[in-house]
Structure 1
Amino acid sequence: MTDKTLPEKIADKLRRDIIQGGLEPGHQIKERDHAQELDVSRTPMREAIRILAKEGLVILRPSRSPIVANPSFEEISDVVEVLTALELRSGALACRNATQEDIERIQAMHDHIAEVQGNIGRVDFFELDMEFHMAIAASCKNAILAETHSAFVRRLWRARYLSATRKDSSARVKRQHGAIMEAFRARDEAAMEREINAHLDALVENIRDKYASEADAV
């Protein structure tokens, strides 16, 4: 997006590095070093780190360099629980309040995701997937709800991305996205609730499997 601020662009770059593992949990993010690497001043770098801290991807430390967060499965589960409540409520309101133009625009997003699946990089595809969910929430016409939903989506980015790359769930995601869109187009709140629950239940299982496999490897 061309209207992003410099700190937002830097945050995008760092976020990608974090979710892909270029910046691993516990890694120190030194403002000066990273600012020099990206050829920016320390001020926008500091603001970018604050953006990531709000998303739960980075932990700020007094008088010390911030580090990449390493949340436990229990912490991730708590975030998923809140996200589920937000997504269910925003989905119900979207069925009531979205304009036809909103629905057609989000349908076009869904069609584009299906079209490029397998033909673009994992991170690019993952970001399109997240944008799809955030677009539905935004169409609920409750700005505070949509903003809060977006924040919790971002708190799960790393766990969600890594769990998705552990095993190929693309066919399931495609099927569930299609079911969500079908409910959305019909403005069927009960079906929307059912499909969102199914989608997020699968997410929890993927993340649980990821943490279990990591524990077994230790």
Structure 2
Amino acid sequence: MSAASWASELRALGAISPRKSLAEEAADTLREFILLGKLKAGMPVPERDLAEALGISRTPLKEALRILEHEGLVVYGPTRRPRVADPSLEELAQNLALLGALEAFAGELACANATDDEIQHVVQLSRKMGSAPPDTDPLEFFRWDMEFHQTIVRAARNTPLLETHKTLNARLWRARFISSKLRTGRDSTLGQHEDVSVALQARNGKDCAQHLRRHLETAITNIAAAQAILQEEEKK
């Protein structure tokens, strides 16, 4: 069999799906527990207990915690003992303001560079969120929400922007999840998604940027409201 023949046959079979390492799988599980508040903000991370519960050694667990540290979900104190991050509202607001500027720029670029399929995907995600029943799993809804934003950023076709957004957005996962699941502000959020979709379909960069920036400003308000609710619940 010639090189050209076996190469063609392999392409026909399709790419091999990459498998996640134990550390990546552990990071996925812990990330979900942090987002859902099962591992609460500020609490110490018991490495030995977590490794035993996950059925893995402490080596991949430590690698998983390093992944979450890079994402800003886990922090280490002077003794190098990990705990769940608990950033202040001021810190979150500053980071979200920067993220809003990045996404506004991405929206402007996406209006010029996005394919029709990418724009249609954004529109479909907006409609899916808008028609989701009230009992939709909050984590599933959040994944749709993040895919909505990430599709726009990818469609900007700007590698430095994509990399910077990925790093900053990872540090805001928990805060954005809190904002996403706050039902009292959901109608406003969904309306803003629709505004972004309409501007993107019209390839109106100025309007798309403006709507995305306003959308991230709303997230700051939602997070502040959600934190106040959580604090009241903890007092009961």
RMSD of Structure 2 on Structure 1 (CA): 2.3
1:108-128 C-alpha deviation (Å, 9 max, x unpaired): 333333343435211111121
Query: Which of the numbers 136, 142, 156 marks the counterpart of 2:152?
Result: 136
Larger Rg: 2
1:95/1:189 contact within 8 Å kept = yes
Q: Does 1:36 align with 2:59?
A: no
Residue aligning to 1:105:
121
Separation of aligned partners in 1, 2:113 and 2:158? 9
Residue aligning to 1:194:
210
Structure 2, gaps ≥5 residues long: 1-16
Q: Which amino acid aligns with 2:41?
A: P
Query: Which of the numbers 110, 127, 137 marks the counterpart of 1:121?
Result: 137
Residue aligning to 1:5:
20
TM-score normalised to structure 1 length: 0.87
Separation of aligned partners in 2, 1:210 and 1:119? 19
SS of the residue corresponding to residue 67 of structure 1 reads: strand
Please show how residues 161-180 of structure 1 align to structure 2 within 5 Å.
161-180=177-196
Q: Which amino acid aligns with 2:100?
A: T
TM-score normalised to structure 2 length: 0.81
1:31/1:45 contact within 8 Å kept = yes
Residue aligning to 1:51:
67
SS of the residue corresponding to residue 83 of structure 2 reads: strand
The 1:185–1:153 alpha-carbon spacing in structure 2 relative to 1, beyond 3 Å, is: same
1:117/1:125 contact within 8 Å kept = no
Q: Tell me whether 8-17 or 61-70 shows the greater mean CA deviation.
A: 61-70
Separation of aligned partners in 2, 1:112 and 1:211? 27
The 1:212–1:63 alpha-carbon spacing in structure 2 relative to 1, beyond 3 Å, is: closer
Distance apart, 1:68 and its partner CA: 0.4
Residue aligning to 1:18:
34
1:65-124 C-alpha deviation (Å, 9 max, x unpaired): 310011111111111121011111111111111112222233333333334343521111
Separation of aligned partners in 2, 1:153 and 1:50? 17
The 1:104–1:73 alpha-carbon spacing in structure 2 relative to 1, beyond 3 Å, is: same
